[in-house]
Each structure stands twice: as C-alpha cells, then as structure tokens.
Amino acid sequence: MKPFSRAEMAARVARDIPEGWYVNLGIGIPTMVADHVPAEREVILHSENGILGMGPAPPPGKVDPWLVNAGKQPVTLRPGGSFFHHADSFAMIRGGHLDLCVLGAFEVAENGDIANWATSENDTAPAVGGAMDLAAGAKRLWVVMEHTTKDGRPKLVEKCSYPLTALGAVSRVYTNLGVFDVVKGRGFVVVDMAPGVTFEALQERSGAKLHLPG
Amino acid sequence: MKPFSRAEMAARVARDIPEGWYVNLGIGIPTMVADHVPAEREVILHSENGILGMGPAPPPGKVDPWLVNAGKQPVTLRPGGSFFHHADSFAMIRGGHLDLCVLGAFEVAENGDIANWATSENDTAPAVGGAMDLAAGAKRLWVVMEHTTKDGRPKLVEKCSYPLTALGAVSRVYTNLGVFDVVKGRGFVVVDMAPGVTFEALQERSGAKLHLPG
Amino acid sequence: MINKIVRTMAEAMAGIKDGSTVLIGGFGAVGQPDALIEGLIEQGAKDLVCVANNAGTGRTGLARLMELGRVRKIICSFPRSAGSVVFEELYRAGRIELEIVPQGTLAERMRAAGAGIPAFYTPTGVGTLLAQGKEVREIDGRLYVLERALKGDVALIEAWEGDRWGNLTYRESGRNFNPVMAMAAELTIAQVMHLRELGEINPDHVVTPGIFVDRVIRVDRGPEWA
Amino acid sequence: MINKIVRTMAEAMAGIKDGSTVLIGGFGAVGQPDALIEGLIEQGAKDLVCVANNAGTGRTGLARLMELGRVRKIICSFPRSAGSVVFEELYRAGRIELEIVPQGTLAERMRAAGAGIPAFYTPTGVGTLLAQGKEVREIDGRLYVLERALKGDVALIEAWEGDRWGNLTYRESGRNFNPVMAMAAELTIAQVMHLRELGEINPDHVVTPGIFVDRVIRVDRGPEWA
C-alpha cells in the first residue's frame, strides 16, 4: 500500500479543477493545491480577506506587507486580480459565486455533513473563521484530509461526532488513500484509490459503508 | 398677508442647515435649497443615485452626461465628493447617516406622518422612488410645501387622507405661510410666520390644531 | 485562457430564455445599457420580468420591449415619469403587471440576492401600502418589514472599463444600480465603453470583480459620453 | 469649514466612554489600526466590548488592552491563534466573555448595522452550535438562521489615504473589515498613512465616503508599509 503524500493529494485535487473556476483554498493541504494548477490553466483564487486572483508566495525580499492570504502568509496578486472589503468578500462566498471551496476536516459524514472547526461541544473557544460561511456558501465543497486520525480512527463516518461546520455540504473527499464522491441517498462512492490500496483495505479504515461506482 | 415665495421658502430652510450636515434634497422646492446655502458654509449634499458632495448645475456647454442628480438633471461634483452604488447609497439613507432630508409633501399630520407619493389607494401605478427610504431613514425629515392645495384644502392635517410615505417621520414643516415644528404628543408648533400672517389666519388654513411655542 | 469578452451582440445575448427575470441597470440614461436592451429586443426572448428603476421612456429601449408585448411584469420604484407613455398605455389596458418597490429596498433586495441573504428586515415602508401583505416585526422597539431577495436570471449593465476576466469600473453617477445588479443575476452581461488589458485596471479601483460578470462587450456610446 | 483631521491622539480618542462597543479593523497586522489601539490603551476607557476578527496576539495592542482588564467581552471569528496567549489565559480564568461569530456573519452583521437593517437571514451556521438559541426559518426549501445587526459605539480603522471630509482609500488586502466597520459605528476614527488635499482622491476611487468617518489622524507606520 502506497498512500498519497500531501503533495500528491494536493496535485490530485488540482487535476480536477477546470479553467475559469473561482476557488477558495483553506489552510493546510488545500493551500498547496494552488502550486499544482498548471500556470497555463487560469483558475482564479479567492481569499476571504478580500482578494480575487491571488498568486503564489513572493520571492524573498519581494514581500508586500499589505498583501496576505487568509492564513496571513504573504502572497502576490495576478494581473486581473482585485481587492474588496470583507462584506463583499463574504457576499461572494455566501451568494454562491465560488465554484469551489477546498477545506480540511476532522470528519466527513456519508450525508455530506462536515466537522472541521471544534473538537468538542465544551471547546467553547474554538476558531471558526470563515469555515462555516465557505461550507454553506460555495457551489461545491471538497475536503482534503488524511483518511484516519493519527491514532487510526476513521474520518469518513456515518455521523459526525464533532460539532458540525455545515450540513450536507461536502460533495467530494480526497484522502491519502483515495478519492470519494458523496452521493445523496447513497453515501461515499470510491472514485479513485492510492496505488496498492484495495477496496477492502479502504472499507476497513472507514467508519461508513463505501460504495463502488455505478 | 405676504406669503413666502418658493425662493424664500428654500432660503428659510437653508438658513437652518448648519455646516457639516449631510443632506438629501428632494425634487421641487427642496432642490432649490442648495442655491441658498452660502458658499462658505460646507453642507454636503447626497443624491440617491450614488453621489456625495453634489454641487450646483454646470454652466451651459460644461454638462457632464455621467453626472446627474436624483431628478436626472445635470449637476457638478465639489472637491471631496465621491461616487458609490445604489445599495451603498441607500445604506447611507436607511442606516441613519444623513443628518437631514428635505422633501415635498401632499400632507403632513400632527403626529409626523407624511404622505407624498400617491394620491389615492387606487392609484396603483404611482412613483415612490426613494421617498419612503429617505423618510424612514434620515435622522431628520423636514417638509417644504405650500400651506394649502390650489383649491384651498389644508395640507397640515390631523390625519393624512392620502396613502402614507412614512409614520411619524416629519420633525419640521416649512410652508409659504410659516414654519412649524412637529412635537411629539403636542402636534404643530408655530416657529415662524410669513410677514403679515396672524396665528388666527394660519389656524384657519390648517387642518389640525396649531400651538404657540412654550 | 479565460475570455469573457464577446465580439457580437448575438454572442452577448445567447441563451436568454423566455420567462427570464432581467435586471436592467442605469438611472435615467446614465449607466443604462442601451445597446444590450436593443440586443435583447433583437434576440427575441419574451414573457420577461424586467427589473429597473424606471419603466422606460419614449418608444425605444425598455419602452420598445414593452410595446412589443415582451414584458409580462415590471418591478421598479418609479414607473410613471415624463415620457413613460408606453408603460402607461399598457398599464391602463391591463396588459402589464407592476410591482412598485421603494428604491432603496429594490437595491437592497438585489444586493441580498447577490450576497446569499434570502430575506432581511427594513424600516422602509412600514405602515404604508407597499408593506401590505408583508410580515411586520418589532425589533428593539421599532417596526420593520420583511423583504425578500430579488434574483435575476440575467443582468444587463453598463460599465466604463472592462477586461477579459470581467473586472469592471464605472464612471461617476453611471455606477448606480449596475454593480448591485451584476451581483444578483445568474448571467451578467456588461457593455463597456473601454476594453482594458488584464492588469491594466488598478486592483484597488475595480468596483465589480470579474466573479460577478459573465460577458463583456465593447459599445462606444459616442463622443459625448467619452 | 469641515475638518475631520485631528493632530493629536488625545483628540482622536476624545469622548470614548466606559462600556463602549469598539470595532477594531484589520486582518492580522494588515489594516490593523495599531496606533489607535495604543491610543485607546492610553485613553483609559474600560469595560469594553471589542469586535475584531481575532482576539489579539502577543502582549501588545488588543492583547495588552485585554491584559489590562479593560475588555469585558470579545466578539470575533478566530480567537485562538498562534500567539493569542493573553486571551487564552483570561478565557481559562473566566475573566473575559467570548462570542464566536462566523467571519462572514460578523462582516454582514456590521454591514447591516451600517445599512439600517436590524436583522437578516443567512445559511451560514445552520445546524451548528453557533446557531443555538437563534431563530431558524425555512425559506424556499432551505434553512436559514436569523442574525442581528452588530453596531459599534466606536470604530478604530486603518486606511491608506484620507482627506478633511473623511474620505478614505485602502491599500490591497488592508481593506478587509475597515470599510464595513466604518459604516457600523457611531464614532469612526481612522488612522491613515497619507493625508490628501480635498479633491485629490479621485471620486471614483473613494472606498469609504466621508459620511461614515468622524476623525482622521495621520500615522506613519514606517517605510516597510509605504
């Protein structure tokens, strides 16, 4: 079994993003997706803090302090980019203008529920940021995450045990072991598997029933 | 009895507007108010169609077709003016950011109700424009109008007979015969009278009880 | 390569269906997408609901579209104005529906549609005929009317500059309803005075980011507007 | 002559009362009104409710204000981040209240306050802990949460340019929450990198019209921000 590396997961997501889409990439592996979109394919990146047309990190010594992404890292702007304020930025998100949002998650349920912001109901000071807006607002929500937690618990589940971020929002999940569509009324459908991974091995590491396509 | 002329009414209103106020002037006599604010007193005029800092009409031959007021007449912009879209413009209005709006009216009631957009309930194609937003939103609403209709019916009334524009919104009325504060729980209080006008003559031409100040 | 710039009016109008709700920008003649309205007349879609501040004047543009019997309903703040002859004829004859909306509520309903807000409370119109049949609610001691988002299938707008990503700027009071309508429609078509190369518009000065715009067509309104 | 430009921090901070709700712009360090926050620390107002995207980092700025015991409650989207040590100490000790709001709802609640909208429905947060105790309503087959406007007594914001009428522009991603907060407060105070003569800012490029701004003070953040 040869699980996808983080870079391979990001590349796998990037492969599925067509030219012309407006895309918001969350913190972590999702951010790495940008590096895997070929330069000639125009995908327009959105950042919650009021940027469209975000480009890669600047070379050292060329950092513009006025230009950071949602993770507060320095970025650049591509020709054709634009700036706007937070209410306009979330109007784009909530109004369904983003073709895609890619987020990390603690858990995804077979009905598309996502939990990615708080680890318990008692964790009353978690950091939600823009996750709920993005999950509820984008036309499509894809999740990129490890297939299981560090201690081996499945993250694809029948029902989320962590506090929810949004109901029924996820349409696709990329893990280090495979790619899954979340199909209404059916659940997780295996679209792709990492090299050497069998359906049985995948099912064993998942907390919900997996389906084969068709 | 020497009633105020339209120009005198406009001048009377202008006299009461202090420097620094943000003001929206309705169509008709209210528009004329601008001409009576002394040039050295900075009053910032707002227009519903997305202008702050509106200046007077341009000289002939200097008309800029991109720059019209809410009455669609050519205007100018003062240094320090700005342009914005309709939702932002009405955010200013509805959000209570205008110090004053001056409108014409068919009727004003002693509780501050104003009727200025439709002449009957059956008049189903009247033109409301921004009147309801302005009446409900500005910090203060002043009305400038003739004291009576052409056929002598009073326009200061106990209760409006025409369809309302807003409830309890008017705080002051300027007519060709006098100036009136609309005081909560009291009604119309006479602040000023045109030359030669007596309280009795005013009362005779009004449809609601008038009060003397104090 | 993303290229939202189209060269012909037929391309600009492609796919507009009968029964569409069409948002039409402008305030009077300023910022009014005249060429796109002519394009829509030519294109042929009918049974339209048109949303605009006014109900057309004279016998051209929106008035012509109405006169041709292609407009089922008009949603506007100020239907009756100097020269709104076609509207008045149709309205008296019972051949066009009318929904009057206060101007600020009209703008905010479209902004809400664009921003994913299905409904909001507003003080405008409380206690008036225009609040009849609507939910009224007291919040912190004041009465408010519940108003619903107003979404377009198509927006026809005018802008000053546009680029191939659909970024737009406006000129002076030509901005008016245009940026709000651009947000609120499934398909937003902009006529612009000037095409710019990508990156030529200062990113701090873009008013409508391209995410809200689907097609851009250059239309020179002539030297008096330049 | 209208002149919103003030020369001293004491003038800028005059009249801020104990118990005020203070909106603080910025996203991380970008567009954050550092000098005004220092001014507020100096000024002395206490029992404050602070609204910001984050809950402060390190031991300066907002974190310092909290450490001094001057903040009763914080309303933000992302309290716990790298370096939010002061907040975490106070929070664990039960010495500060917290209201977590999704970032877009936070922005929209302030925009609503500025626009005279007392409440609106949003899909964000439906079915989550952050919707608990809030009205949920089905509109056209989808569930929405009712959210209330969030008004400030004071807004502290940072802008790029300002003039004596209070017109502001912003630089790149320094715009963020600043224009929204400017609309939403009774008293809006802006620190700007550059003062401009009236009319020097192109009226098409003004982002926050002066109607939303009460005081402007020049603060040079140094050459790295120039």
pLDDT value, residue B120: 80
Which one-letter amino acid corresponds to residue C157?
A: I
Structure confidence by residue, pLDDT tens digits, A144-162: 999 999 999 999 999 999 9
pLDDT above 90: residue A117: yes
The pLDDT of residue C25: 98
Stretch B57-67: mean pLDDT: 94
C141 pLDDT band, cuts 50/70/90, is: very high
If you average pLDDT over every residue of chain A, what do you get? 96
Catalytic residue among B48, B107, B158, B204: B48
Q: Is the pLDDT of residue B68 over 70?
A: yes
- Write down the pLDDT at residue A124: 67
Looking at the complex, report in whole angstroms how far the Cα of residue A169 sits from the nearest Cα belonging to chain D.
11
Cα B147 to its chain centre, rounded Å, is 14
pLDDT digits (tens, 9 = 90+) for C202-222: 999 999 999 999 999 999 888
Please state, for a pLDDT cut of 90, what percent of chain B lies above it: 93
What's the mean pLDDT when you consider all of chain B?
Answer: 96
The answer to whether residue A77 scores a pLDDT higher than 80 is yes
Q: Which range is least confidently modeled, B125-134, C13-22, D113-122?
A: B125-134
Determine whether the interchain pair D164/B80 forms a contact, defined as Cβ–Cβ distance below 8 Å. Answer: yes
Of A44, A84, A91, the CB nearest to C114: A91
Is the pair B, C in contact (3+ CB pairs within 8 Å)?
A: yes
- Cβ neighbours of A93 in C, within 8 Å: 116
pLDDT band per the 50, 70, 90 thresholds, residue C184: very high
| pLDDT band at residue A85 using 50, 70 and 90 as cut-offs | very high
Is A133–D105 a contact, with Cβ atoms under 8 angstroms apart? Answer: yes
CA triple A38-A44-A48, angle to 5 deg:
130
Secondary structure of chain C in HEC code, one letter for each residue: CCCCECCCHHHHHCCCCCCCEEEECCECCECCCHHHHHHHHHHCCCCEEEECCECCCCCCCHHHHHHCCCEEEEEECECCCCCCHHHHHHHHCCCCEEEECCHHHHHHHHHHHHHCCCEEEECCCCCCHHHCCCCEEEECCEEEEEEECCCEEEEEEEEEEECCCCCEECCHHHCCCHHHHHHHEEEEEEEEEEECCCCCCCCCCCCECHHHCCEEEECCCCHHHC
CA distance B42 to chain C (A): 21
Residue of B nearest to D167 (CA): B80
Contact predicate C31/C176, CB 8 Å = yes
Mean pLDDT of B39-55: 96
What chains are in contact with C, requiring at least 3 Cβ pairs below 8 Å?
Answer: A, B, D
Q: Is the pLDDT of residue D168 over 70?
A: yes
Contacts of C116 in chain A (CB under 8 A): 91, 93-96, 137
Q: Model ipTM?
A: 0.97
Distance, in angstroms, between A159 CA and closest chain D CA?
A: 13
Q: How many percent of chain D have pLDDT more than 70?
A: 100
In chain B, the residue whose alpha carbon lies closest to the alpha carbon of D179 is B88
Using the beta-carbon criterion (under 8 Å), do A132 and D125 form an inter-chain contact?
A: yes
Average model confidence (pLDDT) for chain C? 97
CA distance B83 to B56: 16
Q: Could you tell me which chain D residue has the CA closest to the CA of A52?
A: D173
Identify which of A46, A52, A79 has the shortest CB distance to residue C198.
Answer: A79
Band (A39; pLDDT cuts 50, 70, 90): confident
Query: Per residue in D111-149, is it b (16+ CB within 10 Å) or e — as a string?
Result: bbbbbbbbbbbbbbbbbbbbbeeeeeeeeeeeebbbbbb
Angle at D140 between CA D138 and CA D141, to 5 degrees: 60
Query: C18-63 pLDDT, tens per residue?
Result: 999 999 999 999 999 999 999 999 999 999 999 999 999 899 999 9
Mark whether A146 is an active-site residue.
no
Q: Report phi then psi at D48, rounded to 5.
A: -85, 150
Question: How confident is the model over C81-104, as a mean pLDDT?
Answer: 93
Touching partners of D (3+ C-beta pairs < 8 Å): A, B, C
Nearest to C3 by CA among D205, A20, D134: A20
In chain D, what residues touch A48 (CB-CB under 8 Å)? 103-104
- Share of residues in chain C with pLDDT > 70 (%): 100
pLDDT at B119: 84
- Using CA atoms, how far apart are residues B148 and D109, in angstroms rounded to an integer? 45
Q: What are the residues of chain A with a beta carbon less than 8 Å away from any beta carbon of chain C?
A: 19-20, 22, 42, 44, 46, 52-53, 77-84, 87, 90-98, 137
Determine the average pLDDT of the residues in D199-219: 98
Coil, strand or helix at D30: strand
Tell me the domains of chain C and their CATH numbers: 16-100+151-219 (3.40.1080.10)
Which residues in C have their CB inside 8 Å of a CB on A?
1-2, 111, 113-117, 163-165, 167, 183, 198-199, 201, 203-204, 206, 209-212
Per residue in C19-31, pLDDT (tens digit) is 999 999 999 999 9
Average pLDDT over residues B6-22: 98
pLDDT higher than 90, residue D161: yes
pLDDT on residue B152:
95
Per-residue pLDDT band for C193 (boundaries 50, 70, 90) equals very high
Examine the pLDDT at C111 and tell me if it is beyond 90: yes
What is the three-state SS of chain B?
Answer: CCCCCHHHHHHHHHHCCCCCCEEEECCCHHHHHHHHCCCCCCCEEEECCCEEEEECCCCCCCCCCCCECCCCCECEEEEEEEECCHHHHHHHHHCCCCCEEEECCCEEECCCCEECCCCCCCCCCCCCCCHHHHHHHCCCEEEECCCECCCCCECEECCCCCCCCECCCEEEEECCCEEEEEECCCEEEEEEECCCCCHHHHHHCCECCEECCC
pLDDT, tens only, D117-147: 999 999 999 999 999 999 999 999 999 999 9
Q: Please give the angle made by the CA atoms of C22, C27 and C33, to the nearest 5 degrees.
A: 50
With contacts defined as CB-CB under 8 Å, which chain C residues touch D121? 117-120
Q: What is the pLDDT of residue B124?
A: 67
Predicted local distance difference test score (pLDDT) of residue B39: 86
Cross-chain residue pair D174–A127, CB shorter than 8 Å: no
Ordered structural domains, chain A, with CATH: 6-211 (3.40.1080.10)
Given the residues A8, A40, A42, A48, select the one marked as catalytic. A48
Q: Would the pLDDT of C187 be above 70?
A: yes
